[in-house]
Structure formats: structure tokens, C-alpha cells
Structure 1
Amino acid sequence: MNRPEPLLLVGHGTVDDSGVREFHAFVERVRARMAPSTVDTAGGFIELSAPAVTEAWAELVDRGHRRMAAVPLVLVAAGHGKGDIPAALEREVRRHPGTSFRFGRPLGPHPVLLDLLEQRIAAVSDRAEWADTAVLLVGRGSTDPDANAEVCKVSRLLQETRGFAFVETAFVSLARPAVPDGLERVRRLGARRVVVAPYFLFDGVLPQRVARQSVEFGAATPDVDVAVAGYLGDCDELVDLVVERYHEALHGDIRMNCDTCAYRVLLPGFESKLGAPQTPHHHPDDPAGGHGHGHSHGHGADVAAAHGHASSHAR
């Protein structure tokens, strides 16, 4: 009887200890869910934190596995999901000849995430006041416009399905508006009650920055009541979504949305990205120094899996 393909959870990594602990706790929660179906589970980071993904891969290989189903623990398909994570996995294929992987989709957007955002917002605000409450959804931010647009899509879905006065979007790095600017926009649109909702999986430097900037804005702007919701966090609902992505990777048709990807189509203001190599950045935790191989986005072996295109390893 063939053993089911193991689930490999791949995170980005953080220098924040609490975020690392939450990732480990979540891996254990997923492992407990998968154990009854005899699916092995391991998790690792591409940088900044231990264990590195190379350790998680080796752990599964040592247990006799040759083909992995990898689910990226990212909310949007920015550079990490499109290039860095699949490239890190491809390096493991080269280190362990005879191994391969299937690559799952990023977690969002998804109704489960909207439900979790609703729960986190409800924990800091009265549902009876939502019709007069604005929400500022704050994403990480990216140089990839497609990734930023995904966060805006979540904001719109939240607005149209949850009954808030309105929902605006901000980013904590690399994209505009920044958190203070987003809060000022909300204020100028007439909100006197706003909940800042960090769109992050686990704790870390960036969600902590979101909370700090929000509290500072509230203290300096007494005419606006600013509350900060929790990030999504380690929970059973998130496990449900990961399990869905795992089965989808094994049996579904995995295709990222390439219609608005700046590496595949010409977007005004991002002309330099069109056809540019997706060269994963240096990962100091990688045993070989982490220097990736540059391949054209959506065509090279390192990134083909991220777009559902067949390659010799990632399928």
C-alpha cells in the first residue's frame, strides 16, 4: 500500500520569537489533524527562523518520502510565493535526487479568512455598532501590484459581506497607503470609530508595527476611536484551510492567477518587471548559501510549480 504524500508547510520566517513559536504550534496542530489519516507533516522556514525548510525536507526524506505536497503559509502570491518558496523547494530536489514536490496555492483570498477576520474584529468591537464602524485592513505590502490587489480584494469582500460602514486598505511596508495615511483617510471619510485589522497569519515585527502605529494615531487623534484587532493566528479554522490546500495540491488543478501578474503581462508603471527573471534572494540559512538560480517567471523549473505549469520536478 502506497503511503500518502506528506504535507510540508513552508513559512517565510521572522526574527520575532513569538511568531516562531506560533508557527511551530500551528505545525503541531496540523500534524495532529493529519495523523489519523497517516499523513506525515513537517514545517520549515525559508529564512530568519529555524528549522530551515532544508531540515524539514530532510526529515521527510529520512522517513522514506520521495514526493512532497508543499503548502506555502502565505496569504498572497507575492515574491515569496511566486519565487522564493518554490525555488527553495527546487534546491531540495537537486540535493535529494529522486525527490519531487507538488506546490499548493497561497491561502487567500478564502471565505475561511473572511470568517477569521470577522471573529477578530468582533473581539474588539460591538457588532451592533458595525454599521457605523469603519475597518482598515492592513496587509504586509509588496512591490508586486498583483499581491497588493489581492489584499484590496479581501477588503472589498469584507465590506460587502459583513455590514461595516466601509472598509479601506493600507500596508505596513513597500506599498501605499501606509497605516497612518490609511487611518487619516478613514477619518476624512467621516469615520469616528475604526477597527484596524492586521491581515497576517502569526505574530511578528510587522503586525506589531501595525498595532503600534494604530495606537499612536488614536492617541494623537482623539476624535476617532481606534481599536486594533488580532491577527489571524494559530487556530483550527486555519488548519481546515491548509488541509483544503493540501488536497487541492494532490488532486486539483493548481493555477495561480497570471492575468494580472506583472512578470507575465504589461502593467503601466511596472514595465521593467515584464519577463524579468524571478531570482530568489539570498537565504543565509540555506546550507549552500541560498543563492537561487534566475529563471523567467512562470517558465523556469524553480517557479513553474507556483503557476501550475508542469516541470520535471514540481508536479
Structure 2
Amino acid sequence: MQAVLYVAHGSRLRAGVTEAIQFIEESKAYIDAPIQEICFLELAKPGISEGISKCVEQGASKIAIIPILLLTAGHAKKDIPEKIEMEKKQYPYIQFTYGKTFGVHPKMIDSLYDRMIEQKVPLTSDAAVLLVGRGSSDPSVKKDLTRIANQLKENYQFKQVEVSFLYGASPHVEEALNLLVDSGRKQIFVIPYLLFSGLLMTGLKSKIKELTDRNHPILLCDSLGYHPNVQEVLLERVNELIGN
């Protein structure tokens, strides 16, 4: 019997956990699998082992494990695969498969543009965009976010789209924002490339308030979050594994 186990990151904030659960619960209805469970990588329960156990208790013979992660870094490359290998020893009769992160996908790029349009302001000819990633020491994260930025620039004909990070990679968001302001761009859109921003938005709002003025508006968009396109990419990732 086929099971799908969704592995969300987890958050110290209850709102972050609640949003992840709500997003996955809404997505379950579109997946043809009799067993579907949710677990968390860290900072929330149940953990991966408990999630797998729940699937097995319901009669699963195959478990497709889906990371609810935007980009492929240490969690996707190391932490989750190591946990799966441990569980294979516990359940040698279960067939485990492991899916891809959302990654670089056209629908994710379109979601970013939607977040800009939601600001309900006319786009100027020299509008610049700053994507803000969480950050990682894994260089593939910066590489992939840069690919996303380049595709956004190409698809929607922006003059400038830059990337920045909250920690763990350069440039830091404050540095990148200062450079854009100093360059004289008259309109700057800042888009957090995050599923859940929580407290991270507070610092961004303060910095933007400090730098913005009437001649150089800086528009902080909603984070990528659980946009409808994100759900479509999730469904695609699940169906890649379970063959629908």
C-alpha cells in the first residue's frame, strides 16, 4: 500500500507549524495515495521516525518521502537521506523513495512576479528586484537562487534582479539593499524567498523603513509562502514518485 510522508522543516513559532500543516492538508486531497502523513525535520513533532512509524502502522508497503523545502541544501542532501537509511534498517521490507525539493521551477518564478503585482503599484521601467533567501553554507543554494533571479529577470524583462541572504551566505540582505539604493534605482521590490518568514520580516521591515523615501520607494512583498503555484509544484513532486 502506498504512503506519502511529507517532511516540513519545522519552526519555533506555532504559526509556522500551523501554516505548513494547513498547506499540506489542503494538498492531500489532490494526491491519490491511501496513506498520507506529515512530519517535521526539526523544531516540531512528529519527527521523521514517528512519521514513518505511523505509515507502517496503517499498512504501508511503500513510502514516498517528500521534502517540503524550497532549495536543495544540507537538510535535503544529508539529514533526510541519513534518516531514511536508518529507517530502512528498522523496516527492511518497506520500499522507500525520496523526492526532490521544489527547486528551480517555472511556477516558482511566476509566483514571485505575483507577489510583486500584489503590491498594486505600477512597475517603473527601471524597477529592481531583491530576492532574500534564508541562506546556507552549501554553495548550491546561492547558485539555485541566482538561477531563479536570472529567470525572473529574463521572463519579465526586469533591468536588475539580485539575490541576498539572511545568514550563512553573501551578500547579506542589508549589504545588497544598500547597494541597490546607492545605485539610484527609483523602485525596489524586496521578496523574501521563504515559505514562512515569521520573525525574519521584522528586521527587514525596520531596514526598509530606514532606507526608503518618496523618490526611492522600497516595497516589501509578502514572502513566497504557500502560493497556489507552490502547491502545484508539490503535487508534481509527489506524482513523480508515486507514478501518477
**TM norm. shorter chain > 0.5:** yes
Residue 241 (structure 1) aligns with: 233
**Structure 2 residue 211 is matched with structure 1 residue 221:** yes
The Cα shift of 1:229 comes to: 1.1
Q: Which residue matches 2:195?
A: 201
Contact 1:214–1:226 under 8 Å retained in 2? no
Q: Where does residue 23 of structure 1 map in the other structure? A: 20
Contact 2:4–2:66 (Cα < 8 Å) also in 1: yes
The aligned runs of 1:165-204 (5 Å cut-off) are 165-204=159-198
Residue 194 of structure 1 aligns with an amino acid whose one-letter code is I
Compared with structure 1, are the counterparts of its residues 165 and 172 closer, same or farther at alpha carbon in structure 2 (3 Å cutoff)? Answer: same
Aligned to 1:108: 103
Identify the residue that residue 130 of structure 2 maps to in structure 1: 136
Distance of 1:50 and 1:20 partners within structure 2: 9
Matched, 1:147 2:141: yes
Tell me which residue corresponds to 1:9.
6
Corresponding letter in the other structure for 2:205: V
Instruction: Give the secondary structure class of the aligned counterpart of 1:131.
Output: coil
| 1:119 matched residue in structure 2 | 114
Structure 1 residues 236, 41: closer, same or farther in 2, change over 3 A? farther
Q: Does 1:64 align with 2:59?
A: yes
TM-score of the two chains, using structure 1 as the length reference: 0.72
Structure 1 SS opposite 2:83: helix
Query: 1:59–1:117: structure 2 CA closer, same or farther, 3 Å change rule?
Result: same
CA RMSD of aligned residues (A): 1.9
For residues 10 and 21 of structure 2, the distance between their equivalents in structure 1, rounded to whole angstroms, comes to 11
The 1-side partners of 2:243 and 2:17 are apart by 30
Q: Report the CA distance shift for 1:150/1:38 in structure 2 as closer, same or farther (over 3 A).
A: closer
Aligned to 1:32: 29
Written as runs of structure 1 = structure 2, the 5 A alignment for 1:46-57 is 46-57=41-52
SS at match of 2:19: helix
Residue deviations 1:28-87 (CA, integer Å, cap 9, x gap): 1121222xx344221111211122122221111111002211111111111011001111
Please give the secondary structure, in 2, of the residue aligned with 1:186.
helix
Cα separation, partners in 2 of 1:153 and 1:67, compared to 1, 3 Å: same
Q: Which runs of 5+ in 1 are unaligned?
A: 253-315
Once the 2 structures are TM-superposed, how far is the Cα of residue 111 of structure 1 from its aligned partner? 1.0
TM-score, with length taken from structure 2: 0.91
User: Where does the alignment leave 5 or more consecutive residues of structure 2 unmatched?
Assistant: none
Distance across 2 between alignment mates of 1:20 and 1:170: 25
For 1:231, the equivalent position in structure 2 comes to 223
- Equivalent pairs, count: 242
Letter in 2 for 1:244: E
Q: Distance in 2 between matches of 1:13 and 1:28?
A: 15
Whether the 8 Å CA contact 2:62–2:95 is kept in 1: the answer is yes
What SS class does the counterpart of residue 9 from structure 1 fall into? strand
